[in-house]
Chains A and B, each alone.
Chain A
Amino acid sequence: MPNPEVQHDVTRMLQANEPGGAMSQELLPLVYKELRQLAAARMAREMAGQTLQPTALVHEAWLRLQSNTSPAWRNRAHFFGAASEAMRRILIERARRKLRLKRGHRAEHVSIDTVDVAQTEPDERILLIDEALTRLNATDRELARIVTLKFFGGLTNAEVAETLEVTERTIYNKWTFAKAWLLKNIREERDSGS
């Protein structure tokens, strides 16, 4: 069962926000907490070594919160925005932790031997993508939002389209463009650092 207190707070905050407006900074920690608790509960039921896809988590959180407070959940955009952002942070922490484990305290045992971006390991990629996303957000918030929803929130094009009230085709086009932009930006950034 979701934490009733959190659920209450989330509802209150979602209602307080304008649809399509900027995500509330107060909302974020609550969704973050909710997602983590949800994941913990799921993990406890599953066998050890089991993994969960973020898409599944976000959707489950959404379904739980929605079913419990049905009239208040009209603003999907806010929920998905907050959930994706929270998910982003969880995943970033996770990538950092895994890299740290792999590399040890010092870098002598790092296994990244390749300089080519396309050859990097997934955990490092996530960090690289996140850094590029920060840069994208500085110039094109709309596009950055789509990336967060798609990549970290794991939403489908249809869900993002519904959330942002644009056509599915637009999301497809923008997401494709954003991916190309991000990879290009990662390359440029990485190369300029060498």
Chain B
Amino acid sequence: MSVGTDKEQLLFAAALPIADPGERETFLQTACAGDAGLRSRVTEMLAEHAQSERFFSECISSLAIDDADVSEAPELKNEKTVAGEMAGMRIDRYRLLRQLGEGGCGVVYLAEQEEPVRRRVAVKVIKLGMDTKSVIARFDAERQALAMMDHPNIAKVLDGGATESGRPYFVLELVQGVKITTFCDEEKLTASQRLELFIEVCHAIQHAHQKGVIHRDIKPSNILVTTHDGAPVPKVIDFGIAKAIEGRLMDDTNFTADGQVVGTPAYMSPEQAELSGLDVDTRSDIYSLGVLLYELLTGRTPFDQKELVQSGLDEMRRTLREKEPQRPSTMLTSLTNTDLAVAARHRQLEPPKLIKSLKGDLDWIVMKALEKERQRRYETANALAMDVRRYLNNEPVVARPPSQFYRLQKLIQRNKVVCACGLIVALTLLVGLEVSTSFFFKERQARMEAEQAHANEMLLQKKAKARETVTEAGVLLSHGAMAEADALAESIPVELLSPSRESSDVFRRLGLWNLLHRNWKQAANRYIVLLQVNQVDKNDRTDQATYDLLLAAPLMVEAGDLSDYDRMRRAALTRLGGTTSPGAAEQLIKTSLLLPADDALLKQLEPLERVVAGALKSHDPAVNDGSLLTAWRVFALALLEYRRGNFNAAVTRLDECSNYPKQSPACVAGTHLVLSMALRQVGRIEQADAELEEGRAMVQNQFQKKLESGNDKTGKIEGWIVTPILLHEADALANSAAWPSSESE
């Protein structure tokens, strides 16, 4: 910090009497002659002037001395003692022994507690200038939750209060360890050893999350490693403190004049950067864990701390929010040879091998934890730990999009080491343990509910629990334990689920599984949940967003949830009706018209009709293939005409349908059935009956067989699922038309 050169002081004094801001600006511009730094420094000081005058004059008038000052003023002490808390001093029950360290927000002392037990502790005294009262209030609010944390890898926060000079302090379990990154490098731990340590850290964080405590400031200096009987034990420190001192980490005020920033932006999640830490949940910690893993593997953070700080506040926010970090392996290739050699030596590997070891699984795991959108990250610290464990066991990791080849590759790798059967047994046991643990936590949860003050934390905790259950269901799914996964998923209260890719994935698969087993009601329920948890991006207007409706809508009708279906189709149209994708438009039309519709709904379909009709005029084979896709689109438009009561137009469309080669058998069956209804409506009864029988034969044949997902050739299940509904309607129409009323011709 520089106090300004003589030149600065002179300019300050000279500019001060110039009252007109414009004139003052001109004066400074001329006087600073292109030295922008000087000019901005002087301008900053001038801006401070008015307030500083008031500040000091108010202060001077309060400097009066009264008798108490005279009688109670102590003898003159050593200057340093006067300046603040020092070794030898006593805070409450704690005697400060020596300073252990100094951080951005305070000083840490080694201290001795004398009662009720004599022990050594760490006392962290927060800098003066914090709002002591609210710090203590926030700490007290969190105290209950902190007290419930009991984990070998978490250093306890024992006490908190205010020193005599009014500074907040915290008493922490004394951990005499070294920063995790330093420990790993000094001990030259290999990647697997580092991952083992990391898994333990994840478990500690998971424990805290289950108690409703978010750390908010996970970084290497808050994870110390000690050795216990020769084995390294990581300890997470400072739980609850970031919240108590309300780390307004990204507030503008945290930038000092020379670009210093307090806090550790390199470890900050995008939502912490964006929302000033307001809407931070457990997934923010997952992000920071991702950064930690990144650093443990590569020796670098995804974004360089220095660069982040130097780029300025807005740019830093933008980077954290938008910029994709390099994959860990890519990061290593971009290092200089010397840096890479150092990183490799610390991990006992040759540089090329180090890069190779990160490529693939570890890259994916890290990148999944570092997703900008928190719903795409691992749901829980446990899920992250489990994926790292899968990597260590050579099992397929969740972070990787599955492919047959990849799975096979993993199976082979695995069999090299251990018999696959044994592993599956072990995994089943692990899952079993996990389930019983979850019951244990349920009980604990009930106890905590008594505490009204923690209502918020409770919800958070339940949500974390729900997310964890989803993860468990996902694991069961990946091991083919479908029924178990389904039971587990059913137990989750829907309102606790927040949109996430993992949840939608689990419920989509369970929906399909139930469907193929003809559990219509359950399948419909899974899809209803899916539609709720899948609202990831409201602006997604591709056919991916509407795809799930193809199964959800017919299942709701099939399960008899007719009013649910009606609500759902209207909601879907309102949310997604603006799409310009012909695929999405076609899917919306089809799924909205499984049952007759009123005028309002038909009106809502008009823009979609234009999109589909437009695509049918296209000569681009990618848009209009003149085959399978085109047939489905013509079918959708025909169904729309039929629902409007334009029966002849429907017949024309449907006749056109049969022109397209290689169409889905499901589409052919659907065409027969709608055509039968349209023909019957215009009085062509014989033809109508013929179409109906052809359609019926196809539907019955399909649904007598074992249900399968299907393919383009046999017809996909999402196409077929509509046909029984249409058959039912066509039959009903035939029966009512068999006894024509007197009005018909």
Write the residues of chain A forming the contact surface with B, with a CB cutoff of 8 angstroms: 28-29, 32-33, 36, 39-40, 43, 48-54, 57, 86, 89-94, 96-97, 99-100, 103, 105-108, 110-115, 117-118, 122-129, 131, 134-136, 139-140, 143, 151-152, 154, 173-174, 176-177, 179-194
Contact = CB atoms under 8 A, between A and B. Distances in A.
Contacts of B133: 107-108, 110-113
A36 B58 contact: no
Choose among A91, A118, A177 the residue with the greatest number of B CB atoms under 10 Å from its CB: A177
Interface stretch (B251-259, B284-292, B321-329, B409-417): B251-259
Nearest to A28: B76
Contact of A192 (B73, B135, B262): B262
A127 B128 contact: yes
A1 to B, nearest CB: 17
Contacts of A128: 128-129
Nearest to A124: B166
A177 B165 CA distance: 29
Interface stretch (B1-9, B182-190, B567-575): B1-9
B65 A89 contact: no
A138 to B, nearest CB: 8
B607 to A, nearest CB: 52
Interface in B70-114: 70-74, 76, 82-83, 92, 104-106
Nearest to B48: A180
Contact of A187 (B16, B70, B132, B253): B253
B365 to A, nearest CB: 34
Contacts of A54: 63-65
Interface of B: 1-4, 9-10, 12-13, 16, 44-46, 48-49, 51-56, 58-60, 62-74, 76, 82-83, 92, 104-106, 126-136, 161-162, 164-166, 168, 245-248, 251, 253-254, 256-257, 260, 262
A184 B63 CA distance: 21
B136 A193 contact: no
B76 A39 contact: no
Contacts, number: 208
Nearest to A48: B67
A118 B360 CA distance: 55
A123 B131 CA distance: 14
A139 B3 contact: yes
Contacts of B251: 191, 194
B12 A193 contact: no
B131 A179 contact: no
A72 B127 CA distance: 45
Contacts of A114: 131
A75 B251 CA distance: 50
Contacts of A126: 59, 62-63
A177 B60 contact: no
Contacts of B9: 173-174, 177
B131 A106 contact: no
B44 A131 contact: no
B69 A90 contact: yes
A44 B332 CA distance: 76
A122 B73 contact: no
B70 A39 contact: yes
Which A-B residue pairs are the 8 nearest by beta carbons?
A: A107-B162, A190-B129, A51-B64, A122-B62, A193-B127, A191-B253, A173-B13, A110-B133
A112 B131 CA distance: 7
A113 B131 contact: yes
B65 A52 contact: yes
A89 B64 contact: no
Contact of A100 (B82, B135, B166): B166
A189 B73 CA distance: 28
Contacts of B45: 177, 180-181, 184
Contacts of A152: 63
Nearest to B137: A108
Given A99-B165, A179-B56, A188-B256, 6 more contacts: A51-B66, A53-B65, A96-B165, A103-B166, A112-B131, A126-B63
A65 B476 CA distance: 90
B65 A94 contact: yes
A107 B168 contact: yes
A3 to B, nearest CB: 15
Contacts of B168: 107
User: Which residue of B44, B128, B247 has the most chain A CB atoms within 10 A of its CB atom?
Assistant: B128
B166 to A, nearest CB: 5
A176 B16 contact: yes
Contact of A93 (B44, B73, B260): B73
Nearest to A182: B52
Contact of A99 (B2, B12, B166, B254): B166
A112 B129 CA distance: 10
Given A39-B70, A52-B65, A181-B3, A129 B59 contact: yes
Given A106-B161, A179-B56, A193-B129, A53 B64 contact: yes
A194 B71 contact: no
Contacts of B10: 173
20 contacts: A28-B76, A36-B73, A90-B73, A100-B166, A107-B132, A107-B161, A115-B131, A118-B54, A122-B63, A131-B83, A140-B3, A151-B60, A176-B49, A182-B52, A183-B48, A184-B45, A192-B104, A193-B128, A194-B130, A194-B251
A110 B166 contact: yes
B59 A93 contact: no
A192 B262 CA distance: 6
B170 to A, nearest CB: 12
A122 B64 CA distance: 11
B256 A192 contact: yes
